Amino acid sequence: MKGQRVKSLSSPNNAEKARAYAFLLLKFCLRSEKELLARLKQKGFSPELSLSTVNFLRDKGFIDDRVFAKVWVTSRLKRPYGLRRIKQELVAKGLDEEIIEDSLCVKENYSESQIVSQLARQRFSRQKGIEPQKAKARVYAYLLRRGFSPDIASDTVKQL
């Protein structure tokens, strides 16, 4: 590496580079502030520069954790996943508890028991040729992995 110049991340146009990288990340999908901050640090930008970039993007309206949470919840409910799993994912994304609770207010329009029942019937129909107890255990485990309440999952499996 003799004779090659190593680029320093403390150059004056680094703020522009950090913003450009952040915009590149946001071009592909929405991200939470914590995710964006972590990606900027991972890229090698200083923590101060990463934080100022995230603050700039938040102030200009390019990132908003509330919007991100609502979009995330909507997309995950279509999969369908349970509210418990969605909440865990939002916590992992670094969102505040208040934002998570606000985004999960779709509970009124969301009938978890109907969705669990439908998923369980579909999954159970695939378990042909397997002992009924073993099939029920597999369906129950599947529903738990999807993030549904253990109570609702067990009640639904008992009805099968």
| Residue-by-residue pLDDT tens, the chain, 160 positions | 444 433 444 556 889 999 999 999 999 999 999 999 999 999 999 999 999 999 999 999 999 999 999 999 999 988 899 989 999 999 999 999 999 999 988 656 677 888 999 999 999 999 888 998 999 999 999 999 999 999 999 999 998 7
Segments making up each domain of the chain, as ranges: 14-59, 65-109, 112-159
CA pair distance 116, 82, nearest whole angstrom? 9
What is the pTM (predicted TM-score) of this model? 0.80
As given in the structure block, the two tokens for residue 32 are 């939470």
- CATH code of 14-59, in short, is 1.10.10
Cβ neighbours of residue 126 closer than 8 Å, sequence gap 6 or more:
none
- CATH code of 65-109, in short, is 1.10.10
The answer to whether the 14-59 and 65-109 domains have the same CATH topology is yes
Helical H segments across the chain, by residue range: 14-28, 33-43, 47-59, 65-77, 83-92, 97-103, 112-125, 132-145, 150-159
